[in-house]
Structure 1
Amino acid sequence: MYRLLIVDDEEMITDGLYETLNGRNMGLDLCKAYSGKEALGWLHRTRIDIVLSDIRMPGIDGIRLLSIIKRDWPHCRVIFLTGYSDFDSVYQAIQTPGVQYLLKSEGYPKVIQAVSAAVAELDDSLRKDEMVQHAQEKLNTLEVLARGEYFRHLLNSAKPVPSNLGEDFRKLNIPLDAEKPVYMAQGELSHASTSVSSYANRQESALAVTLLAESFLSGQARSLGMIDRFGDPVWFVQPSADRTDGNEAEGGAFILPYLEGQFELFQKACMDSLGISVAVTLRDRPCDWKELSSIYDKIRRQRQRKTGDGALMVRTATLDETDGACSNQERSPREKSDALAAHLDAGRRGEFLLLFDELTGSEREIGASYLLELYYTISLVLLSYINRWELGNQVAGVSALMRRDEFSSWEEAFAFLRKTAETLFEIRSSGERNRAAEAISKVRAYIEEHLDEDLSLVRLAGYIHFNPSYLSRLFKQESGVNLSDYIEHARIEQAKELLRNDELKVLEIGVRVGYEASQSFTRFFKKATGVTPQEYRDASRM
């Protein structure tokens, strides 16, 4: 979902544009600001994809906004509105790609047309264009492979980070500063196709996704991506030098919302161009390089607590000392069990069962000693998961996992392991659904209690700690209605109740349900009910 910000110092124009675009059901998340300064607040807090702004405003005008937008959000499209006769001179003065100009006198149809064109441009830019081609050209370079191997060593080694980290970075041409902290993000891939691809295809897809993300992050950040030993992408990010030179605080404050916004655009590009859904978990603050391995393990644990299906989610993880990392003892020494554990942790049921069947399908052709090792290797993967998530009372026959002699045949023993794994996937899926329902219930309660406040998608997403696009999709999935429609309905019902049972003035009731301007409240109410607030009050008291 694209996010559109309307900016004008004339409240009536801002509200009118908001209501007009909202009524067109264009699939946009709409925000509004009544000054350039308020617009900057939005731009510093979240990703904005389209800005519809007046050029002439007191304080921070549209031209100043444009320079900030092009610096911070290079993918953003800008549509300028002007009511001045010198439109041609303004147009000649500002020749910037991605910018449109309209006269206010051209009316709403022209605005809707311009917004539709901006949406189409954004769609085109996120398809398999030059960024994807550039990423694919780098797939098999020795430099990329060497960097990935080096960072896998850093993440999985029990030894401290080497003191000559900076020297290693220079030799491998790693575009990061070994003296400064680094943000870490982890990805989780799901192919649109229901079939499980080959190992080579999965690796190729993961590498394409990893490098594509670097293209999106390059505007305001230095980044490096790699594939970890579980086949998942991992990114290391620092603010670009020109963001931090002389002002570390500015770079640090901006980089997190920038990363969240760019990862959302990157997710859409992956789905549209590669047919791959990518969930991203991003730590909310940078870590020292010596903490890299520990933070990596902690983020992997946080990824298990996703809500709903987690697809296309950008989650910002807040880690503290109680977030334990997986110990070395939890990591089986067998390569195949590593893959099984990764699939189980990520909830990839199809991949897990396919690998399980590959491992256990040739039991008659191998010796009993190997089968015994295989049985207990898989048992340990399952038992480790059960213990970590305290599921012992929800899984039947847990004690039999470590007693192979309870089964009369290998076929029966492996069938028991398979059934146990399927039970774990069912428990996980049920928990995700329950957490989704709980999260949406929490959002509904917040809406009901704050009808007089800003209920933008960005604010609600911040309250529940989801990215806005994911919250919008999850709300529709759980509730059957769009979030914006739910908010409008709640405001209408509250307004009706106050009009029927309270002596407040119509203007005061409008404020109670989130409308500071009486004209906006009247338009909103009449559009929904067919009558004005006063007409509704008079009819209800007859």
Structure 2
Amino acid sequence: MYRLLIVDDEDMITDGLYEALSGCGMDLDLYKAYSGREALGWLHRTRVDIVLSDIRMPGIDGLQLLSIIQRNWPHCRVIFLTGYSDFDSVYQAIQTPGVNYLLKSEGYPKVIQAVRQAVAELDDSLRVNDLIQRAQEKMNTLEVLARGEYFCHLLHGAKPAPNLEEDFRKLKLPLDASRPVYVALGDMSNGASVLSYASKQESALAVTLLAEGFWAEPMISLGMLDRFGEPVWLIQPRNDREEEDEPDKASRMLPYLEGQFELIQEACIESLKLSVSITLGDRPCEWPKLSSTYDKIRQHRQLRAGDGDHLVQTVVLEAVESHGSARVRSPRERSDALAAHLDAGRRDDFLQLFDELTESDREHSATFLQESYYTIALVLLAYINRLELEDQVSGASALMRRDEHPTWEAAFAYLREAAESLFELRRSGERNRAAGAIRKVCEYIEEHLAEDLSLVRLAGFIHFNPSYLSRLFKQECGTNLSDYIETMRIERAKELLKNGEWKVQEIGLRVGYEASQSFTRFFKKATGVTPQEYRENARA
């Protein structure tokens, strides 16, 4: 879903465009701003895909907004609304790719047509075969794998060398070893069938290469594969971006990263037919804490609400352990892989590796089978202890008692049943957390009807990205979030009209309508009568 921001200092024009675009049939997430400064607030809070703006406004005008949009959201399309006297400004604007203009006198059909064209251009931009080609010219697959080999020892527990700058220079890495780095972890397991190692590696590499095209200007990004074949990104803002004199720059980095990863997700669906979820640290970490930060991000990934498909979730890193206290890793690769599959909820991959470890033919000795049993049992037990599930998994204490089973087949069947129960418990937990998250959103809406209930505001409250919240709400409630908010506002207005002595305009403000005309229009659309008529009928 694309996000469209309407900007005009005349309330009637802003509200009229909002209503016209709300009913045009396009799947758009709409926002309003009544000044350039208010629009700037939106642009610093979330990704915006289309801006429909007056070109002449007091304070920050359309052309000033355009320069900020070009710097922060270069993919964004801009449509300027102009008068006949704005020729010089229009001429300056149309020299910029991705900018269109309309005369205010041309009417709503022309505006809708221009927005449809902008949507089509955005769709085309996500078919990024040319981006893949440019990325492949910049770096080939061997470079990605070489990066992964170097950073794997840092991600997986090795202490960074004192001369990290020298390593970066020798390996021609674009990152700055003296500055902290954002860490993001990708997951392509959602709904995916069991793939061979080569297929997974190929898909992960394709995602990593494709993503390079989205970080070219404001950020430096280094993509690689970790030891489990999953994409990892290390990201830093460029030095010139950090030196800008704009306030609250640090607080705007996270929305920017979330927005770019949403675009990468859309591009992966469009070009690679791959669904990618992203888990992202909410702040940059120092290089000595890279391993513990990566561990926390990886562990947090399993606590998602719902199926996680197309999710961009952030992890609060305040409690990240220091490098020296990071947990000790098992030297057995199969144990690591089993734990990774269990943590990520990859049931098919876990069971495939389980079957490889539990082959009981004559080629495997009793000691091999015993090692396999306790390797799996320890992975399951560690998972149960880490998530404090002992009260929810019957017989967890018997996992380490191999002698209670008469045969190896019975012992491994017991472990498989325990693993299946953990995956089912995880699925149930995801469903419960999804329901709980939506319940919190609904409660928040009911308690704050008079306030800003935009999708971005609600997503920030629940710590989800806006697109995921919109999809999850529809999935859980069977209705669009915007429709639910509108229904709640109308129902509260009915109560106040029947029971209170507030004026109609005051009631409109109490349920979130800043303009009395908008309140009257929406109320009549929902009930068939005006608020005053409804009050009179209720008292009759």
* 1:186 CA displacement: 1.3
- Give me the whole-angstrom Cα distance separating, in 2, the residues matched to 1:486 and 1:25: 18
Offset at 1:451? 0.8
Aligned to 1:71: 71
Partner secondary structure for residue 173 of structure 1: coil
How far apart in 2 are the matches of 1:207 and 1:324? 30
Q: 1:412 aligns with which of 403, 410, 413?
A: 410
Q: Secondary structure at the match of 1:421?
A: helix
Aligned to 1:171: 170
Does the CA contact (< 8 Å) of 1:263 and 1:314 recur in 2?
yes
Q: What amino acid maps onto 1:167 in structure 2?
A: E
| Range with bigger deviation, 459-468 or 120-129 | 120-129
Q: Aligned pair in 2 of structure 1 residues 246, 439: CA closer, same or farther (>3 Å)?
A: closer
Q: Quick one: which of 326, 336, 339 aligns to 1:341?
A: 339
- Equivalences for 1:72-471 in 2 at 5 Å? 72-87=72-87, 90-91=90-91, 94-136=94-136, 140-158=140-158, 160-190=159-189, 194-245=192-243, 247=245, 251-321=249-319, 331-471=329-469
State the alpha-carbon separation in 2 of the partners of residues 307 and 220 from structure 1: 31
Q: Please state how far the C-alpha of 1:497 moved relative to its aligned partner.
A: 1.2
Change in Cα spacing, 1:93 to 1:227, as seen in structure 2 (3 Å) is closer
| Structure 1 residue 290, shift from structure 2 partner | 1.2
Question: How many Å apart are 1:245 and its aligned residue?
Answer: 3.1
Q: Does 1:478 align with 2:463?
A: no
Change (3 A) 1:482 1:93: closer
> What SS does the aligned partner of 2:185 have?
strand
Are 2:30 and 1:30 equivalent residues in the alignment? yes
Tell me what 2:516 maps to: 518
Deviations 1:181-219 (A, max 9, x none): 111111111366x43111001011112212322321222
Distance change >3 Å, CA 382–CA 139, structure 1 → 2: farther
Q: Is the Cα–Cα contact under 8 Å of residues 136 and 208 in structure 1 kept in the other structure? A: no
Residues 331-377 of structure 1: per-residue CA shift (max 9 Å, x gap): 33222222111110001111111221233245443111111111111
SS of equivalent to 2:234:
strand
CA distance in 2, matches of 1:531, 1:473: 32
Code of the aligned partner of 2:420? E
The letter for the 2-side match of 1:175 is P
Contact 1:224/1:236 (CA < 8 Å) preserved in 2? yes
Deviation of the 1:86 alpha carbon: 4.7
Alpha-carbon offset, residue 396 of structure 1:
2.1
When residues 197 and 93 of structure 1 are mapped into structure 2, their CA distance, relative to the original with a 3 A threshold, is closer
Indicate how the Cα distance of structure 1 residues 72 and 92 shifts in structure 2: closer, same or farther if over 3 A, else same.
closer
**3-state SS, counterpart of residue 115 of structure 2:** helix
Distance 1:450 1:248, change over 3 A: closer
The Cα of 1:139 is off from its aligned counterpart by 7.2
Q: Distance in 1 between matches of 2:484 and 2:75?
A: 30
User: 234-243 vs 466-475, which deviates more?
Assistant: 234-243
In structure 1, what is the Cα distance between the partners aligned to 2:468 and 2:338? 28
Q: Deviations over 1:21-72 (max 9, x none)?
A: 1223422111110000110011111110100101111111111111110111
In structure 2, do the counterparts of structure 1 residues 164 and 220 end up closer, same or farther at CA, with 3 Å as the change threshold? same
Q: Does structure 2 retain, via aligned residues, the 8 Å contact 1:187–1:278?
A: yes
- Paired residues of 1:453 and 1:514 also in contact (CA < 8 A): yes
**2: CA distance, partners of 1:476 / 1:328:** 39
Measure how far apart 1:252 and its partner are.
Answer: 2.8
Decide which of 529, 532, 538 is 1:531's aligned counterpart: 529
Decide which moves more: 296-305 or 503-512.
296-305
Taking a change above 3 Å as real, the CA distance of residues 240 and 152 of structure 1, as seen in their structure-2 partners, is same
Q: 1:501 & 1:71 partners in 2: Cα distance?
A: 51
Letter in 2 for 1:176: L
Which stretch of the first structure deviates more once superposed, 332-341 or 163-172? 332-341
How many positions carry a matched residue from both structures? 540
Q: Give 1:137 shift.
A: 5.5
Change (3 A) 1:312 1:305: same
- Asked if 2 retains the 8 angstrom alpha-carbon contact of 1:190 and 1:276, the reply is no
Whether contact under 8 Å (2:182, 2:236) holds in the other structure is yes
Q: Deviation digits for residues 133-158 of structure 1, max 9, x if unmatched?
A: 33456675433222211111112244
- 1:392-431 per-position Cα deviation (integer Å, ceiling 9, x unaligned): 1221222332121111111111111111000000111111
Secondary structure (helix, strand or coil) at the match of 1:185 reads strand
**1:92 CA displacement:** 6.4
Q: 1:247 to 1:153 in 2, by over 3 A?
A: farther
Give the aligned residue type for 1:454: D
> Which has the higher mean CA deviation after the structures are superposed, 271-280 or 128-137?
128-137
Q: 1:191 to 1:318 in 2, by over 3 A?
A: closer
In structure 2, relative to structure 1, the CA distance for the partners of 1:322 and 1:180 (3 Å cut) is closer
Structure 1, 130-139 or 485-494: larger mean CA deviation? 130-139
Q: Which runs of 5+ in 1 are unaligned?
A: none
Q: Which runs of 5+ in 2 are unaligned?
A: none
CA pair 362-276 structure 1, distance change in 2 beyond 3 A: farther
Which shifted more, 298-307 or 423-432?
Answer: 298-307
For 2:399 and 2:406, how far apart are their aligned partners in 1? Answer: 14
Tell me the distance in 2 between the aligned counterparts of 1:230 and 1:26. 40
What TM-score comes out, normalization by structure 2 length? 0.95
Matching residue's letter, 2:185? Q
* C-alpha distance in 1 between matches for 2:328 and 2:291: 15
The answer to whether the Cα contact below 8 Å between 2:63 and 2:93 also exists between their aligned partners in 1 is no
CA contact (8 A) 2:445 2:485 kept: yes
**TM-fit CA distance, 1:101:** 0.9
Task: Give the Cα separation in 1 of the matches to 2:423 and 2:325.
Answer: 23
Taking structure 1 as reference, are residues 183 and 86 closer, same or farther at Cα in structure 2, changes over 3 Å only?
A: closer
- Higher mean displacement: 532-541 or 7-16: 532-541
- Structure 2 residue matching 1:52: 3-state secondary structure: strand
Given the superposition, is the C-alpha separation of residues 308 and 250 from structure 1 closer, same or farther in structure 2, using an over 3 Å criterion?
Answer: same
